[in-house]
Structure 1
Amino acid sequence: MSTSGDPAVTPTATPTVTDGPGRALPPLTSLTGGATGLAASWPQLVALASAYDASGDRLRDWAGEGSRVLLDADLLASAPLAPRTFAAAEAAVVAACAGPEGALAASAAWETDAVLVRVTLHWLRESDELVRATFEAVDLLAGRAVGFTLTASAPLWLPGAVVVGGAAALLWPTLLRPALPPSVRRDLDRGLTGVGRLTEQWLLEHPGLVQHLANGGGGLLDGLWDGLTPATPGGPFGLPSSTPDTESAAGLLAGLYDDRTGVAVPRGDLAVGLGAVAPATLAGLLTHLQQVAALSGPDGRGAPGAVEVQTLRGPDGQVRHVVYLPGTDDLGTLPWTQDSDVRDMATNYLLIAGESNAYQDGVVAALEQAGVQPDEPVLLVGHSQGGMTAAALLAQGSPYDVTHVVTAGSPTAHLDGFPAGTHVVSLENHGDVVPLLDGEDNPDTAEQLTVGFDAGGAGVVGHHGLPAYVAGAAALDASAHPGVVEQVESLTAAGFLDPGGHSTASSQVLQVVAER
């Protein structure tokens, strides 16, 4: 959770701004972190407290000067000659130094303010952490209760489900459904379709609940295990399950898959239309990423694992690189169906768990294959799993100088943070459930700006699709919010965005594949 949800800083895009003829840019619905976020204010508050302390010290020094003035030899020598003015002068010095409104009292006031600022800052941070920990505990307990109930009650519902489900699978398509009148079959099909649409609509309208369900994933696994032996604490064989958070639950699921390494294979036969064009805007970056994602083809039947390394050379001769990382190619990977596809469910679990994975290692291999030098700045742009990989490479380190990351529809809250001075822009479309699957909001940090927007989309897939994120990026390009402007200007100053078209660009496509 974050304490930076002040609606006064929530930006919105005006409906008069358009992305092409007749298309209004999606409104920005939330903004967390970045240069204008709460975390960026912490150092300023600490500096303010230090300034108050320094002011108090100076005032106390001035009060000490008063004692020296009172004992000044010339002033004391004037006492017999002008006793009244001597007394008035002494009284004025005492009042200025030690009186109710003197320097000593002011010194105490300034130092008290310094203490109050530090205490307030401490309790703001503590309360933020307390709220986060409370949600963690509640979600964990709720998930555990659901899991325990499912398995503990399995002897009651499982036999019936197996019998009914098996009979339905055998008899429904061959005997029962053909026997129904056509009108009944149509009504039934519409009803089932309607149930599916209602479920999808519920997911789109209750993203917060989806996030809490994901956050309770560790408790769910623990509950499922313990429910197998409801009368015996500790689970089957006396082996307790301990997955206290989403990360550990993902790590447990990842353990069901084989370990693999990622390698990068140059694909000179593949090209991206925008490969020779330097990106000018955030929307241009995501449009380019959309073209790279298309190389995988429908359902990953083209070149799954394809990534692009685009090299930009500015008018100053500086070389920099933009790496485009598409998202998951195969969502249906099971432990016994693993193949060379690197962008699969096993990688998703490993990324959430914060563990090394074939995609992440393969991207590093692709940078090496492309001839990127360790001192050349790198921008990573990723959608979904690609954004998770980009953020992990920045947070966990790599042999390359990654300075900027742009993520679209990617869960990144599980990461421990990003190096000071780096820039991360995370786009999240309202109704897209994928960024919520790490169970938490992105933290409010100075390095990461998380921008929510409402671009809509056709169902769950449409809300997560790159076209929605291209529209959201266009809204950021048009935004005048200081936090957004700072990020875009940083990308431009680093040479990754070239609105003037002064940089030259070349491109290499590589295919990252997994090897056992």
Structure 2
Amino acid sequence: MTASPITGVSGGSAGVAATYDAVRALADAFDAAGSELRGWAGLGARTMANPDLAESAILSPLTFAEAEGAVLAATTGPDGVLVEALGWEADAVVVRAVVAAFEETDALVRAAIDAVDHQVGRVVGLTLGATAPVTVPLLLLTVPHLPSQAQDELEQWVVEHPGVVQHAANGGGGLLEGLWDGVTPFAPAGPLGVSLFVPDTEAGAGLLAALYGDDGSAHVVRTLDVVPGDATQPAGVADLVSHLQDVAHLSPDPDSPLNGTIEVQTLGAGTDDVRHIVYLPGTDDMTTVPWSKDDDVRDMLTNLLLVGGRDNAYQEGILEAMAQASIGPDDPVLLVGHSQGGMEAAAILSQGSDFNVTDVVTAGSPTAQVDGFPDGSHVLSLEHQGDVVPLLDGADNPDSVEQTTVTFDDHGSGIVDQHDYDHYVAGAEAVDASTDPSILEQLASLHQHGFLAGSGDGSTSVTAHVFQITRQP
């Protein structure tokens, strides 16, 4: 398989946030230099107060005067180290101010985009709500009967304009507000005279999740199922994603009996170098509505809870399965997830747990809603150009030192196909072959923690256990 071309890399050790950190470190160095020079400036007075030097003034007053002038000029004079100290410290202040101005500008731009998306969503919602008696029946009558060519063209347009999807998702809160008020266009407060306040996508997802009722709790059992290649240590990111695909094949359909299965792979069991890889497939059932919620834990309710930043039964089950797999609190852990599974992986790392999660690899997962990652952790996020799923958080992944986002183009067709594992395996191959510094630093972390096999790791023991997570009331 030919590696897909990488179209963009953001964040990581060579990203904007890392550059800002480096510039701040430079300002700290300027400050340190200024402090040291300021200390040197005091040497002038101490030197001139030296008793032996002072006594020499009687014997050689002219020479003493010359020495005094030179010392004072070098320390406190117009070109002395004291003035230079002030210059270095002033430069430090300016550098920090410039970085702060850049960051503030970035924040203002993001806030402006959020405000525009929210307002556009609200207007669309108002329009749809007010015209629902006409538009809903019309859509129900026409959409199912659209010619296949028209459906294909509409789908292709969505794929080719991912920014529209992202802005629509970002305006989801405004859309819900507009729909609520639009139902009663002559009563702006909405039904029952109660206004709806949904400031962002996260709040909107939380509101929709509430329609499903209680998420219940997780029930976790170890199964006897075997995943192909589960006794082989992965050698690269492509192996990780390919094996995740094999785990996902345990539940290929929305009503598969093994929905909710994950795998925990343990490397070097019984040694001082034990580490673990947890494979987390994505959504099993995309069609779950409030009245059809069942024991399938990987459903739309979980998606909404994740976007809303809420705990959920799938996450609870993942942590329970890790405990059942006897993962120690200090054992390095890599979480690998596709779609919803990647969202769970990012959330677990961000929120913290009883486990030592050092690395995360996500494929086709929305993660912008996650509130940052711990210092020193590593998150490698793969996003296929044309896949709308990673855009459903309504924003690009924030540029951070911990997270590197890699976009690539494997030329898929159709909304569903763009999200397919095969494309992400191809994108992972491109990552393995990349020379980008941010990507290389992510790969180095995976190797240093022993998750990926090196040239001399052929004897590493690998064991694996499959767990099934279901929802119970």
TM range (shorter): over 0.9
Change (3 A) 1:314 1:46: farther
Q: Which residue of 2 aligns with 1:453?
A: 408
1: CA distance, partners of 2:10 / 2:250: 33
Counterpart residue number, 1:479: 434
Structure 2 residue 366 is matched with structure 1 residue 411: yes
TM-fit CA distance, 1:125 = 1.7
CA spacing shift, 1:311–1:76, aligned 2, 3 Å: closer
The 1:360/1:89 distance shift into structure 2, 3 A limit, reads: same
Cα separation, 1, equivalents of 2:240 and 2:393: 25
- Once the two structures are superposed, what CA deviation does each residue of 1:169-226 show, in whole Å capped at 9, x if it has no partner? 9xx9xxxxxxxxxxxxxxxx8x722211221221121111211110000000001111
Corresponding residue for residue 150 of structure 1: 128
Deviations 1:428-483 (A, max 9, x none): 11111100100011111111111111122122112111110111111111112221
Q: Corresponding residue for 2:469?
A: 512
The 1:384–1:41 alpha-carbon spacing in structure 2 relative to 1, beyond 3 Å, is same
**1:212-291 to 2 correspondence within 5 Å?**
212-259=167-214, 260-268=216-224, 270-291=225-246
Is 1:351–1:388's contact at 8 Å kept on the other side of the alignment? yes
Paired position in structure 2 for 1:5:
none
Distance in 2 of aligned mates of 1:220 and 1:135: 15
In structure 1, distance between residues paired with 2:48 and 2:326: 76
Aligned length, in residue pairs: 470
CA distance in 2, matches of 1:359, 1:68: 70
TM (norm. structure 2) is: 0.94
Matched-pair contact (CA < 8 Å) for 2:156–2:413: no
Specify whether residues 103 and 293 from structure 1 end up closer, same or farther in structure 2 by C-alpha distance, changes over 3 A only.
same
Deviation, structure 1 residue 344: 0.8
- Report the structure number with the largest CA radius of gyration: 1
Is 2:459 the partner of 1:502? yes
1:68 equivalent in structure 2: 46
Instruction: Specify which of 309, 320, 324 is matched with residue 279 of structure 2.
Output: 324
Distance 1:472 1:58, change over 3 A: same
Instruction: Pick which of 50-59 and 354-363 moved more.
Output: 50-59
1:258 corresponds to which letter in structure 2?
Answer: G
1:235-259 Cα shifts (integer Å, max 9, x gaps): 1112110111000100111011132
Which residue number corresponds to residue 161 of structure 2?
Answer: 206
**Letter of the aligned partner of 1:151 in structure 2?**
G
Kindly tell me: are residues 168 and 326 of structure 1, through their superposed partners in 2, closer, same or farther at Cα, counting changes over 3 Å?
Answer: closer
Q: Which residue in 2 is equivalent to 1:181? A: none
Q: What SS does the corresponding residue of 1:153 show, helix, strand or coil?
A: helix
Could you tell me how far apart the structure 2 residues matched to 1:33 and 1:308 are?
29
* Cα RMSD after superposing both structures: 2.2
List aligned pairs for 1:36-435, cutoff 5 A. 36-79=14-57, 82-154=60-132, 157-158=134-135, 162=137, 192-259=147-214, 260-268=216-224, 270-313=225-268, 317-435=272-390
Q: Could you tell me how far apart the structure 1 residues matched to 2:70 and 2:142 are?
A: 100
Q: CA shift at 1:63, angstroms?
A: 2.0
Whichever residue aligns with residue 141 of structure 1, its letter is Q
Partners of 2:29 and 2:108 in 1: CA distance: 29
1:419 maps to amino acid: P
Contact 2:386 2:418 in 1 (8 A): yes
CA distance in 2, matches of 1:323, 1:407: 12
What is the CA–CA distance in structure 2 between the aligned matches of 1:373 and 1:75, rounded to whole Å?
68
Partner of 1:29: 7
Question: How far apart are the structure 1 equivalents of 2:188 and 2:147?
Answer: 41
Separation in structure 2 between the aligned mates of residue 242 and residue 478 of structure 1, nearest angstrom: 47
2:220 aligned partner, one-letter code: A
SS of the residue 2:444 aligns to: helix
- In structure 2, the CA distance between the partners of 1:75 and 1:366, relative to structure 1 (3 Å rule), is closer
CA distance in 2, matches of 1:167, 1:67: 93
Identical-residue share of aligned pairs (%): 52
CA-CA distance at 1:44 after TM superposition: 3.1
With the length of structure 1 as denominator, give the TM-score of the two structures. Answer: 0.86
Residue 13 (structure 1) aligns with: none
Distance 1:464 1:73, change over 3 A: same
C-alpha deviations, 1:313-338, integer Å up to 9, x for none?
Answer: 17954222111111111111111111
Tell me the secondary structure at the aligned position of residue 286 of structure 1: helix
1:470 matches 2:425: yes
- Stretches of structure 1 lacking an aligned partner (at least 5 in a row): 1-18, 173-188
Give the conservation status (yes or no) of the 8 Å contact 1:409–1:428. yes
1-structure distance, mates of 2:101, 2:37: 28
Query: What are the superposed Cα offsets for residues 365-412 of structure 1, whole Å, 9 maximum, x if unpaired?
Result: 222233333332221110000111111111112222222111000001
Distance 1:67 1:144, change over 3 A: same
Q: Provide the C-alpha distance between the structure 1 equivalents of 2:59 and 2:183, rounded to a whole number of angstroms.
A: 102
Distance 2:56 2:447 in 1: 70
CA deviation map 1:145-186 (0-9, x unaligned): 11011112345x34xx53x677779xx9xxxxxxxxxxxxxx
Work out the CA distance in 1 between the residues paired with 2:271 and 2:291: 52
Kept after mapping to 2: 8 A contact 1:315/1:502: no
Q: Distance in 1 between matches of 2:20 and 2:142?
A: 61
- How far apart, CA to CA, are the structure 1 residues paired with 2:331 and 2:61? 78
Unaligned runs of 5+ in 2: none
Distance 2:218 2:273 in 1: 30
Q: Is the 8 A contact 1:280 1:501 kept in 2?
A: no
Secondary structure of the equivalent of 2:374?
coil
Moved more, 146-155 or 336-345: 146-155
